Each structure stands twice: as structure tokens, then as C-alpha cells.
Chain A
Amino acid sequence: GDSVTQTEGPVTVSESESLIINCTYSATSIAYPNLFWYVRYPGEGLQLLLKVITAGQKGSSRGFEATYNKETTSFHLQKASVQESDSAVYYCALAPSNYNVLYFGSGTKLTVEP
């Protein structure tokens, strides 16, 4: 079936350090699924951070980037310099062909220390 595997949390980094949260996917229903990163900040609802629907493309938002790599079936989330306000739970997600189902990874809790 379709699934997503991401970095097991929690992850703690210091402010201004770089960050990478790994995400790999398995898609059996479609060759090139849509890929997403969602984020839940403390006290807030789950919201879309970025998405990429075309293999080889990069998505970006709020200083975060993720590149859709079909060779390695990966969609890692990266940021060059994190801030305390980036502390949140990050979820990688995959949408197969019909877009009516969205598969989430287990979530990675990120804590950025001052």
C-alpha cells in the first residue's frame, strides 16, 4: 500500500542550527503521488506547510524546503537556520491518485532551544 516513513522524534536543535527531518515514501497506487509537509504548532491546528506535486520540484515555505526525489523516494524537510518559533510537530504526507485519501507519517516533534 501507500505509506510514509519519517524521522522518529523528538528532535532537539539549538536556534540558528540547521535542520533536516527525513521522509521517505512508498507509493503502489500511483508512480508520482503528491507530497506534503503539515505542521502543528503548540496550541494550534494542523496546517499545510508546503506541497510538491511534480517529481523533481522543490517546495518552500517559512524558510523550509523540501525536494521531491523520485529516485530515492524521499521528501526531506530542511531549514538552514531554525528559530524557537519553529518548535512544532511536523508530518510528512502522501496523496495517491484520487486525492481522497491522505497518508500521514508518524510525526516528528521538533524543539528549538534558545
Chain B
Amino acid sequence: AQTIHQWPVAEIKAVGSPLSLGCTIKGKSSPNLYWYWQATGGTLQQLFYSITVGQVESVVQLNLSASRPKDDQFILSTEKLLLSHSGFYLCAWSLVGEADYTFGSGTRLLVI
């Protein structure tokens, strides 16, 4: 069975500090991977997607970056957090050519 694991579960970070969020998918080879973000009271917005190792496409610019260093790993990061980065971050995967997304349990980020 496929599993998707996100870490950490929650973070409180200072403005201007770096951030790294991780996502690992087990049991599925070469999935499409996605990062989503939802501000408190806001809409889920897709940030990035990746269809293969080393290749990441940006959907919405939020002064964040993403990388896919391994087939089963997707990393979201920034060197300098802004207050506006607070929210809920979700990782997801799907099979190539399909739009049925399976989501992780998310990371809640508070920037202070």
C-alpha cells in the first residue's frame, strides 16, 4: 500500500529564518508530486508540481522553492520566511496522467 508522510507536523518559526518541509511517498514508483498551501481561512493553492526527479515546476510564486532530490521525496524550502508564509502545507501524489490526488496529513506553519 502507498503511504505519504509529511514532516514536521507543525512548526513555529521566526520571520527571516529558513524553512524546510519534507514529504516522502512509499510504495509508488515515479509518482507525480505536488505542494499545496492554505492560509488560515483561505483557499488551497497549488505551489509546485514535479513529474520526475530533479524537475520541479512552479505554479504560484510565494518566495518558496521546491526540490525533488529522490523519486520518493519532495522538499519545500525558503531561506527567509515571511509572515505571509503562515498556513497549512500539504503534499500530494498522483499517478502520471491522472488527477486523483492523495494528500498527506499536512504541516501547520506559524511564522512570528
Q: Do A and B form a real pair? A: yes
A residues in contact (CB < 8 Å) with B: 34, 36, 38, 45-48, 51, 91, 95, 99-107
Write the chain B residue with the least CB distance to A46.
B103
CB–CB B94/A99 < 8 A? yes
Interface of A is mostly: strand
Q: Which B residues are CB-close (under 8 A) to A38? A: 101
Contacts of A48 in B (CB 8 A): 100-102
> 19 extra interchain contacts, Cβ-Cβ under 8 A, other than A38-B101, A99-B94, A100-B32?
A36-B99, A36-B100, A45-B105, A45-B106, A46-B90, A47-B103, A48-B101, A48-B102, A51-B100, A95-B99, A99-B32, A99-B97, A100-B57, A101-B46, A102-B46, A103-B46, A104-B43, A104-B45, A106-B43
Q: Name B6's closest neighbour in chain A (CB-CB).
A: A45
Given the complex, which residues of B lie within 8 Å of A100, measured CB to CB?
Answer: 32, 49, 51, 57
Contacts of B32 in A (CB 8 A): 99-100
Interface residues in B, total, Cβ within 8 A: 23
A45 & B94 in contact (Cβ 8 Å cutoff)? no
Contact (Cβ within 8 A) B99 A45:
no
Closest A residue to B100 by CB, please name it.
A48
Q: Tell whether B10 is near chain A: CB-to-CB under 8 Å.
A: no
A106 neighbours in B (Cβ, 8 Å): 42-43
What is the bound-complex CA distance between A35 and B4, given in angstroms? Answer: 23
Decide: B99 and A34 in contact? CB cutoff 8 A. yes
Across the interface, do A102 and B99 meet the contact criterion of CB distance under 8 Å?
A: yes
A30 to chain B, nearest CB (A): 12
Instruction: Tell me which residues across on chain B come within 8 A of A95, comparing CB atoms.
Output: 99
Give which listed residue, B44, B104, B106, contacts A104 with CB less than 8 A.
Answer: B44
CB proximity of A4 to chain B, nearest CB, Å: 9
Chain B residues with CB under 8 Å of A101's CB are 46, 49, 59
Write the chain A residue with the least CB distance to B94.
A99
User: What are 8 of the A-B contact pairs (CB < 8 Å)?
Assistant: A34-B99, A38-B101, A48-B101, A48-B102, A51-B99, A101-B46, A101-B59, A102-B34
- Residues from chain B with a CB closer than 8 A to the CB of A51 are 99-100
B44, B57, B99: most-surrounded residue (chain A CB, <10 A):
B99
* Residues in B whose Cβ lies below 8 Å from that of A46: 44, 90, 103
